[in-house]
Amino acid sequence: MVTVAAILFVVLALFGFAWPFLHSYRLKRRRINLDTEIRLSQNRITVVTSDSIPERVTEQVLGSITGTSQIPASNDEERKLAEREAMYSLIEQALQLGANAVIDLNMTTESFEFTEPKKFLVFPAATWTATKVIYVGTAVKVI
């Protein structure tokens, strides 16, 4: 019985040490996948921060679009992922509307306090400031 308890303790301790590294690896992998998706979308859509695209004429304004990150970002790695998620969401909305460009791109952030619920009776609930990334732009068709 003592042997089983010792093995269980060692396994849980190793998992506890490995968890931050696994979490960081998942965030980085997700960010790389979103970078790839955004890069593939660049052939179909142009995204600019100005109100027009040089040497191209705006044929039709399709409307305002918003891309919002899914995760609350509380550190630099999560913030990078949140920016990619918001940009990918914005591009997907523009493509669904039939746009081939997004103009007037603007990034804003929204900060709030995030409370992680108690996971076990011995750990208190953790509270930290988190940020959501929001991209806003105008979907257009250009020629």
What tokens were used for 92?
Answer: 């997907």
Q: What ranges do the domains of the chain cover?
A: 2-142
Give the C-alpha separation, 118 to 109, whole Å.
27
> Contact, 114 vs 74, CB < 8 A?
yes
What number of other Cβ atoms are within 10 A of residue 30's Cβ? Answer: 14
Top-confidence residue, 91 or 118: 91
> Is residue 116 pLDDT above 80, yes or no?
no
Q: Specify the CATH number for 2-142; select among 2.30.180.10, 3.30.110.70, 2.30.30.40, 3.40.50.720.
A: 3.30.110.70
pLDDT tens for 32-81 read: 999 999 999 988 999 999 999 999 999 999 999 999 999 888 888 899 99
